[in-house]
Homo-oligomer: A and B are copies of this chain.
Amino acid sequence: MGKLRFEISMSLDGYVAGPNQSLDDPLGKGGEELHEWIFPLAAWRREHGQEGGEITASSPLLEQRVANLGAYIMGRNMFGGGPGGWGDGSWEGWWGDDPPYHVPVFVLTHHPREPLPMAGGTTFHFVTDGIESALARAREAAGERDVLLAGGADVANQYLRANLLDELQINLTPVLLGSGERLFDGLAGASPKLEQTRVVEGVGVTHLFYRRQDG
């Protein structure tokens, strides 16, 4: 069976987004700083149709990130379309006709909706019966491959509290945001045991790899 993985960029003071997140500013005030390490990389620029760029210790990690992936899970806010019901059903995510997933994506929501097949192999499935159900369905779709939790932090914290995350990659930046949205919030009394498995020093970022310590 594949693993449930999560990867996120985090400030040194534990935030994964700045304060005052909005539709216009989904990363919140200062949140973009958490991702500045990635923009100069050739691998990132190539993904975004740009030439040139740098090759650093972070570069192979970008490719490994999507290797062996069979499904994604994401929270409703990450899929977007505003809170509440689906209205006329015209919202099809932020990514246009050909979303960058190319495998089934399971969206956690309180509002039922028929599956939404897109070009390029991405199909959005809407799961209304909770994180364990989403994981079971994603695992089934992924087969032997891994499931990547695409975010956001709130969904990741739910999986952490339930001790369902198998592997965690934190891209730790030297940024201090001072406020915003925290990863690892609300874990009191339900903290999983993690084991550090690998550390990669990048430029302006440290990639920290952990896996769940069973037993």
Contact = CB atoms under 8 A, between A and B. Distances in A.
A154 to B, nearest CB: 15
Contacts of A13: 14, 183-184, 187, 191
A176 B182 CA distance: 13
Contacts of A188: 178-179
29 contacts: A12-B170, A12-B184, A12-B194, A12-B208, A12-B210, A13-B14, A13-B183, A13-B191, A14-B14, A160-B176, A172-B208, A174-B194, A174-B195, A174-B196, A174-B210, A175-B194, A176-B191, A176-B192, A176-B193, A176-B194, A177-B191, A178-B187, A178-B188, A178-B190, A196-B204, A196-B205, A198-B201, A199-B201, A206-B208
A144 B120 CA distance: 63
A189 interface: yes
Interface residues of A, number: 33
Interface of A: 12-14, 160, 170, 172-179, 183-184, 187-196, 198-199, 201, 204-206, 208, 210
Each complex incorporates copies of this chain amounting to 2
A204 B192 CA distance: 15
B196 A199 contact: no
A201 B209 CA distance: 11
A33 to B, nearest CB: 10
A120 B178 CA distance: 41
Contacts of A172: 172, 208
A184 B176 contact: yes
Nearest to A203: B196
Q: Which of A172, A177, A190 has the most CB of B within 10 A?
A: A172
